[in-house]
């Protein structure tokens, strides 16, 4: 039975018993008869349908234009946030471009053999300052604006990061206006695990070759498959209460619970979620 059949059957069976009045809606014949000029005609008859077509004078939602920029090598991955464009290109290089100052291009290195980087996931936070890179081989790197090179994440080795949930509290509150930390974030991996960590560029020597940011496994999905998306949002009236949505190729998971106050936890142990 089609949607139109369902609609017509519902309208014909709607009886108000109090006044014995039949709520007569448009019949299937009238619906099909009015559809001679497409979806737009049904919308014009106020019968509950809306058009999904654009009028001739409507501007397109997106536009595609060329730019005067020659990428020096093949693009492996890219991400855009807060008017910041980050390109990961062959040769193990990062190009960071402020779209409002497109002539100002910052180049940084990824500490890998130039010929070994063939695939990479790039995750740029909403501020455009923190960049997380992950390869299918489980090599993970962290780059912060102004650095000359990304840093390997030694405690996240052998895990491919496939999705990241950034913490909105890091930039939506006035409590930490000058802080460069991401506060606690969640990320999913190729094997169905969820971890939490916190990216802190000022936690050590800016010239250090490695970063020892800890990561703690907080969940394992019942069906161990690749995490394709993850997001978390605090409840407006209860800031410690969070909603976490996790997506895989076949399922969507919902988790609701309280998160420990970041300011009260130990610096060497993650126990927020």
pLDDT of residue 7: 47
Q: How confident is the model at residue 18 (pLDDT cuts 50, 70, 90)?
A: very low
pLDDT of residue 257: 83
Q: How confident is the model at residue 200 (pLDDT cuts 50, 70, 90)?
A: confident
pLDDT of residue 221: 96
Scanning the chain, the segments in alpha helix (DSSP H) are 3-12, 28-34, 39-44, 169-172
DSSP letter at 149 equals: B
Distance CA 84, CA 97 (A): 6
CB 273 within 8 A of CB 184: yes
Q: Averaged over 58-67, what is the pLDDT?
A: 78
* Of residues 151 and 102, more confidently modeled: 151
Question: Could you tell me if residue 82 is left (phi over 0), alpha (psi between -120 and 50 degrees) or otherwise beta?
Answer: left
pLDDT of residue 206: 52
Average pLDDT, the chain: 78
CB 189 within 8 A of CB 197: no
Looking at the chain, which runs of residues are DSSP E strands? Answer: 15-16, 21-22, 75-81, 84-89, 93-98, 101-109, 121-124, 130-134, 140-144, 151-152, 161-165, 184-189, 193-198, 216-220, 227-234, 241-248, 252-258
Query: Is the pLDDT confidence value at 264 over 50?
Result: no
The token pair at 219 is 């969940």
pLDDT of residue 81: 94
Q: How confident is the model at residue 266 (pLDDT cuts 50, 70, 90)?
A: very low
Query: Is the pLDDT confidence value at 263 over 80?
Result: no
Query: Is the pLDDT confidence value at 186 over 70?
Result: yes
Q: How confident is the model at residue 88 (pLDDT cuts 50, 70, 90)?
A: very high
pTM of the model: 0.71
* Of residues 38 and 185, more confidently modeled: 185
Query: Is the pLDDT confidence value at 217 over 60?
Result: yes
Strands laid side by side in the 184-189 sheet: 161-165, 184-189, 193-198, 216-220
What's the pLDDT tens digit per position in 108-153? 999 999 889 999 999 999 999 999 999 999 999 999 999 999 999 9
pLDDT of residue 152: 93
CA-atom Rg of the chain in angstroms: 26
What is the percentage of the chain residues whose pLDDT exceeds 70? 67
Any idea which residue has 């019968």 for tokens? 47
């Amino acid at each position: 039975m089609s949607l139109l059949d369902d609609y017509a059957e519902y309208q014909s069976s709607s009886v108000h018993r109090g006044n014995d009045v039949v709520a007569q809606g448009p019949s299937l014949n009238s619906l099909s008869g009015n559809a001679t000029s497409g979806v737009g005609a049904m919308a014009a008859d106020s019968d509950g349908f809306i058009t999904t077509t654009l009028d001739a004078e409507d501007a397109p939602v997106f536009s595609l234009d060329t730019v005067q920029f020659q990428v020096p090598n093949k693009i492996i991955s890219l991400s855009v946030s807060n008017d910041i464009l980050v390109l990961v290109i062959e040769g193990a290089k990062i190009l960071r471009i402020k779209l409002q100052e497109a002539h100002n291009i910052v180049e940084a290195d990824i500490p890998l053999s130039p010929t070994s980087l063939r695939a990479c996931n790039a995750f740029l936070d909403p501020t455009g300052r923190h960049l997380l890179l992950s390869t299918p081989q489980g090599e993970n790197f962290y780059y912060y604006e102004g650095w000359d090179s990304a840093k390997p994440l030694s405690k996240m080795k052998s895990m491919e990061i496939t999705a990241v949930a950034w913490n909105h509290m890091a930039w939506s509150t006035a409590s930490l206006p000058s802080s460069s930390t991401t506060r606690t974030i969640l990320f999913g991996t190729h094997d169905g695990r969820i971890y939490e960590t916190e990216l802190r560029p000022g936690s050590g020597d800016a010239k250090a070759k490695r970063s020892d940011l800890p990561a703690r496994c907080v969940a394992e999905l019942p069906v161990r498959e690749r995490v394709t998306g993850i997001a978390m949002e605090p409840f407006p009236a209860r800031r410690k209460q969070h909603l976490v949505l996790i997506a895989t190729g076949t399922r969507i998971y919902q988790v609701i619970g309280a998160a420990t106050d970041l300011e009260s936890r130990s610096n060497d142990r993650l126990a927020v979620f």
